Chain A
Amino acid sequence: MKTILAAAAMLAASATLAGAQQLAPSPTLDAIKARGTLECGVHLGLPGFSFANDKGEWTGLDVDYCKALAAAVLGDATKVKFTPTSVQQRWPILQSGQVDLLSRNSTITFSRNASLGLNFQGINFYEGQTFIVRKSTNAKSAADLDGASVCVAAGSTEEKNAADWFRERNLKVAITNFQKNDDAITAYDSGRCDAYTAGVGALAGQRAKLKVPGDHIILTQPISNDPQGPVTRWGDERWQLVVRWVLNGMIAAEALGVTSANVDEMKANSKNSEVRRLLGAEGGFGAMMGISNDWMYNAIKQVGNYGESFERTVGQGSTLKMERGQNQLWTKGGLLFTSPFQ
């Protein structure tokens, strides 16, 4: 019955749009609308990025993006079903269609893009891989780790990066691969390894899980670039469009000074036509993708722009207290730069 109603609603919607343009079919978008929820694959538990708090509510930068996407597509940021995925499960779960997208702190790499049928729809976190060590080791950079043993999650990009980095420099390091990040960090904490390696954001989040967080130091010099962002499977270009432009929209909103607090006022009074197009006051950009023209208005009103989300989840308003650094807008010395809403 629900499906029939949804189909009828869609028929009505497409009838109103017919004549203006013929939209390419989007099975994912249709399924989300019929279902009434967005299915989003997230990390098993990484404070600051995707973490279920003691009330069972998911919070974090990657989680916020899913909420914004749900607000854009369904008009309601709460209509998300979060599926926690391990390093091993993440690709099959996306490939087999169990989730609509992944937003889980996964590095964008060539081979994932080229041979796994995965598409990366932009970057919501620029990360560099580094190490956490005990202060007592006096290690100041990764180069001081000659002879050390390093715990890492098996199959992560970090595992390969670390092996390559030490081999190139002729440093002998014993890398011990655990199935889960949590196992690796437990082993590090119990003294099995001298260092644990992951992205700087992940380390900041996981440091809190250590017995005495103050005894450990995160090395500042990164050994790699790990851009991360939402992942979709191949096919369904129109869905990819939505995923990409909601992310762009959150970043553009920050650049344009649109926040969850002033979004109503901006929509009503802004003279800036890019702001007006972003918020659906003109241009009909949502309809071009097959969703409501209020898409980014809803996302920003309910979740906030990129900067608000960052501060709340990993920045100064959170326990992680990370600097914006590379994840700052390009106008303020960072790397965030979006295509214009034109």
Chain B
Amino acid sequence: MKPAKGPDTLAKALALLNDKRVRDVIYQVAVVVGLVGLTVYFVHNASQNMVKAGIASGFDFLWRTSGIDVPFVLTSYTQADNILGLFWAGVANTMLVTVIALVLSTLLGFLIGLARLSSHWLLSTVAGAYIEFVRNIPLLFFVLFWYFGVIASLPAPRDSLRVFGIAFLNNRGLTIPLPDAPGNFRWALIAILLAWLAQWLVARWARHRKEATGRDAPVLAIGLGLVVLVPVLAITWASLATRWDIPVLRGFNYRGGFVVIPEFVALLAALVTYTAGFIAEIVRGGIQAVPHGQIEAASALGLQRGQTMRFVTIPQALRVMIPPLTNQYLNVLKNSSFGAAIAYPDVVSLFMGSALNNTGQAIEIIAMALAVYLVIGLAVSAFMNWYNARIALVTR
């Protein structure tokens, strides 16, 4: 006799539930459905309450004239532009300070990390003290220290520090000459990029030839010429061929030229000095993670100390360093929002501060600012992951 159909399918279904893969799928679907449901509920609730409270919602406010004056803009934004323009001006300022801080803090962090490992007692002690100091102090302190402690104690415009009578440093910032027509500089930039490309090609060709034939090429001399001499010549030519807008002291401050505002300098200095402390530790950890046998093997092969560092230690250390370094880079991006504390016109200060208060569109504005950090952050982390995969140990 055939057994009844019901209990059989039930048993099968129960057996399926015991399958780990099936269970995983069920959990994941449940979590996603729950999340989506929660989001829909929150959005619905918020929009209903806003309608009830008479608050306008939507993104129409982005096309209103902003009327906010920004003292430091990289985009073509002016006060007469709309709020979307203000948003982009803020994003550009955030990106500028982040990118420069990334580069400088990496360089400084590497130097301090190497100094920490140095066999020179004084050097390694000073580096160690710096790292301990930095890692145990909140970033806001650094920002305020650089702003109110260092930059604000610069002289007033009348008593500016002069650099060859063309650049002036005071508590309103660094005023530097600005070319009237940047055309020549564009050509100089193209020339420099071409020279660098040529250098890369020459180096590649020389390496291939050395591997193939064992003959050396005068790479260093050609490289110096292309990498250093060409830019120097190009910039000198462009500077001489351009009319300059030289700052002059008139009334309250210097007129003309380009002003690097003190808020930018203070925020950059704070981010670099702070992040370098963390990067130094990552560098130290990465280098110490390379087994000592590798270095012994390198010296047994007759490699010198510098060569050991370049060809054996650093490449292996990088693999350990990249993931924590990615975290630090993301921190630099996020920490750039501390600029709002000292009036650096970044996306937080301009958009979540001024624009939010003028329009009151809190939900939309905070969502947009969040998206900015999310998009830039994911891009940075995607790049670092790609780089990490590229330098990963190839195991066969």
Contact = CB atoms under 8 A, between A and B. Distances in A.
B69 A117 contact: no
Interface in A123-161: 137, 145-149, 151, 154-156, 159-160
Contact of A147 (B50, B79, B250): B250
B252 A148 contact: yes
Interface stretch (A14-22, A188-196, A243-251, A300-308): A188-196
A174 B79 CA distance: 12
A177 B343 contact: yes
B327 interface: no
Contacts, number: 127
B263 interface: yes
A41 to B, nearest CB: 15
Contacts of B68: 159-160, 163, 177
B177 interface: no
Interface stretch (A51-59, A86-94, A271-279, A315-323): A86-94
A164 B67 contact: yes
Nearest to A115: B56
Given A183-B343, A191-B152, A235-B53, A92 B353 contact: no
A186 B354 contact: no
A49 to B, nearest CB: 19
A177 B341 CA distance: 10
Closest 10 A/B residue pairs (Cβ): A155-B357, A117-B54, A234-B54, A163-B69, A154-B353, A116-B360, A147-B251, A115-B56, A117-B53, A190-B152
Contacts of A164: 67
Nearest to A187: B343
A88 B353 contact: yes
Nearest to B251: A147
B231 interface: no
A87 B352 CA distance: 12
B307 interface: no
Q: Is the interface of A mostly helix, strand, loop or mixed?
A: mixed
28 contacts: A88-B357, A91-B362, A111-B360, A115-B56, A115-B359, A116-B360, A137-B252, A145-B252, A148-B251, A149-B252, A149-B253, A154-B353, A155-B357, A159-B68, A160-B68, A163-B67, A164-B67, A167-B69, A167-B79, A177-B354, A179-B340, A179-B349, A183-B342, A184-B343, A186-B148, A190-B152, A190-B171, A191-B152
- Of A112, A166, A174, A177, the most chain B CB neighbours within 10 A belong to A177
Given A117-B55, A147-B252, A187-B152, 17 more contacts: A88-B357, A91-B357, A116-B54, A116-B56, A117-B50, A145-B252, A147-B255, A155-B358, A164-B67, A174-B259, A175-B69, A176-B343, A177-B354, A179-B341, A190-B152, A192-B262, A233-B53
A147 B259 CA distance: 13
B284 interface: no
Interface string B128-166: 000000000000000000001000100010000000000
Interface residues of A, number: 46
B354 A155 contact: yes
Given A177-B349, A179-B353, A194-B252, A235 B52 contact: yes
Given A159-B354, A160-B358, A95 B53 contact: yes
A341 interface: no
Contacts of A145: 252
A191 B357 contact: no
B53 A87 contact: no
Interface of B: 50, 52-56, 61, 67-69, 71, 79, 148, 152, 156, 171-172, 250-253, 255, 259, 261-263, 340-343, 345, 349-350, 352-360, 362
Interface in A34-52: none
A174 B359 contact: no
A178 interface: yes
Given A95-B55, A159-B354, A183-B341, A174 B71 contact: yes
Contact of B53 (A166, A184, A194, A234): A234
A63 B125 CA distance: 56
Contacts of B54: 116-117, 233-235
Contacts of B358: 111, 155, 160
B253 A147 contact: yes
A115 B360 contact: yes
Contacts of A151: 343
Nearest to B170: A191
Nearest to A133: B252
A180 B255 CA distance: 29
A138 B53 CA distance: 49
Nearest to A234: B54
Nearest to A154: B353
Contacts of B152: 187, 190-192
Interface in A229-269: 233-235
Contact of B79 (A92, A163, A179, A192): A163
Nearest to A91: B360
A269 to B, nearest CB: 46
Contacts of A175: 69, 71
Contact of A154 (B79, B148, B252, B349): B349
A167 to B, nearest CB: 6
A154 B345 CA distance: 10
Contacts of A233: 53-54
A87 B353 CA distance: 9
A27 B6 CA distance: 57
Nearest to A194: B252
